[in-house]
Chains A and B, each alone.
Chain A
Amino acid sequence: MGKRDYSPFGADAKRAVDTGLTAAEWYHTDVPRKVMKDLMARSDGPAIRDTIILYGSMIVLAGIGIALWPSWWSAPFWLAYGVLYGSASDSRWHECSHGTAFRTPWMNNAVYQIASFMIMRNPATWRWSHARHHSETYLVGRDPEIAVMRPPELAKLILNFFGILDVIAFIPRILRNAVSGPTPEERTFVPESEWPKVRRAARIHVAIYGATIALAVWMGSILPLMVIGLPRMYGAWHHIMTGLLQHGGLADNVVDHRLNSRTVLMNPISRFIYWNMNYHVEHHMFPMVPYHALPRLHEIMKPDLPPPNRSIAEAFAEMWPAFKRQILNEDYFLKRDLPPTAKPYREDFHQYVPGMMRPAAAE
């Protein structure tokens, strides 16, 4: 395939449409209808419990951090607060954008708006980018949420563990959204009827950040920014760590989530922060299954999936060398073996469609 063009206006995007890749039917594991209905059933209970724990912990941690400020004794409390602010907000944004976390729509929307603000994403834009991410997962030029473009730029990945590039990209974008609505790239996936919402949400975000900065200047202290804004940087590492694992080092331009997504078993604290999105193949194949039902879905789908990575460390040990190989060979990707009980990958389809996976590139 050679050099990839990730622009939504580029050659790869056009080829994905012209070859029928964007219209192709994705592989799905067979799950009986009654079982799937049970899995998709909505409930407010788990998300209310988790939201109380999350926001309650944030209030307590920030309160202690403020009380101990500016002593270094406040640092551990800020670090814990930061992870909840700058990483748990990513998973809350994600689940609530799907509308599956809560049964009650206004609860989904409320947490979605708060989480979007904390993770520095325009709520009216990213809802649409994520819809595209699910329709056309890791189709080059079409998926606006490809976290690691090939060849990977490892220095950028490392900088983003501290949110640096994300925040640098966010500031001009939110200002531009506030003034003129979505950018030209965003207009490729946000319908025109939604453009006023993009501008309105951006203005609210800008106003809150402006007030926080003004308060910091008035106080002569960065303390207000330790509570609002900066935790998106000093607490970003966990969502970057887990986010990279979602698709990192795996195939692109395929229509089988077993080839382009990764399930990783992880510790309960990370699963709380990440809201079970470690079951990522399962989530992509059946995005309407709420986060709290994903462990059950995993057990049902397991015979049809590649074995999950058994820990975050094991998954990184698999992914990071693949990134390094992709620096020299963009077409390289990890292709995991399926268990004997699984339906095989659609090799014939993936070989037939131009621009798609080349099995020879895998090892």
Chain B
Amino acid sequence: MPWIDACATDDVDEEDLIRWDHGTQTFAIFHSPEGEFYATAGRCTHEEVHLCDGLVMGHLIECPKHNGQFDYRTGEAKRTPVCVNLRTFPVKVEGGRVYVEVA
């Protein structure tokens, strides 16, 4: 699978996320409080709302519409109304850039 240059590490504040679109897919790229980067599918599994306007609290991302929550490190659904896990993608950081392995 190809590694795609998604953004600079500076583009994502700590404990926050940004939206990243690639081809027909949309992703969410996270910067954890520990300085790690993660990538998930961009839309909530409940009703397809994009997570980019949501709130990151520690390792949780909260959907901006209904407060469904996921652990963005694993994609695990943590709070209803989300019941389906979020897809995650491998990430690596090189030279101040964040790369996502897009399936």
Q: Give the interface of A toward B (CB within 8 A).
A: 23, 33, 36-37, 40-42, 98-100, 105, 127-128, 131, 134-135, 191, 193-194, 286-288
A40: B residues at CB distance < 8 A: 55
A37's contact among B55, B66, B80, by CB below 8 Å, is which? B55
**A36, B66: Cβ atoms closer than 8 Å:** no
A-B contacts, CB under 8 A, total: 43
Tell me the complex Cα distance, A288–B67, Å.
7
A287: B residues at CB distance < 8 A: 64-67
Chain B, range 21-69, C-beta contacts under 8 Å to A: 46-48, 53-55, 57, 62, 64-67
**B83, A191: Cβ atoms closer than 8 Å:** yes
**A135, B66: Cβ atoms closer than 8 Å:** yes
User: Known: A98-B67, A135-B47. Contact between A288 and B55, CB under 8 A?
Assistant: yes
Closest B residue by C-beta to A39: B55
User: Known: A37-B55, A42-B57, A194-B80. Contact between A288 and B64, CB under 8 A?
Assistant: yes
**B54, A288: Cβ atoms closer than 8 Å:** yes
**B83, A288: Cβ atoms closer than 8 Å:** no
A23: B residues at CB distance < 8 A: 48
Tell me the complex Cα distance, A346–B83, Å.
33
New contact pairs (13) apart from A99-B79, A128-B81, A135-B66, CB-CB < 8 Å: A23-B48, A33-B53, A36-B53, A42-B57, A98-B67, A127-B80, A131-B47, A131-B66, A191-B81, A286-B64, A287-B64, A287-B66, A287-B67
**A135, B55: Cβ atoms closer than 8 Å:** no
Tell me the complex Cα distance, A10–B46, Å.
23
A288: B residues at CB distance < 8 A: 54-55, 62, 64-65, 67
Confirm or deny: B16 has a beta carbon within 8 angstroms of a beta carbon on chain A: yes
B81: A residues at CB distance < 8 A: 127-128, 131, 191
* Nearest CB in chain B: distance from A116 CB, A: 14
B79: A residues at CB distance < 8 A: 99, 105
Tell me the complex Cα distance, A288–B63, Å.
8
Closest B residue by C-beta to A130: B66
Closest A residue by C-beta to B46: A131
Sample (30) of A-B pairs whose CB atoms are under 8 Å apart? A23-B48, A33-B53, A36-B53, A37-B16, A37-B55, A40-B55, A41-B55, A42-B55, A42-B57, A98-B67, A99-B62, A99-B67, A100-B67, A105-B79, A128-B81, A131-B47, A131-B66, A134-B66, A135-B47, A135-B65, A193-B83, A194-B80, A286-B64, A287-B64, A287-B65, A287-B67, A288-B55, A288-B62, A288-B64, A288-B67
* Nearest CB in chain B: distance from A184 CB, A: 20
* Nearest CB in chain B: distance from A36 CB, A: 7
B57: A residues at CB distance < 8 A: 42
Tell me the complex Cα distance, A99–B64, Å.
12
Tell me the complex Cα distance, A163–B20, Å.
49
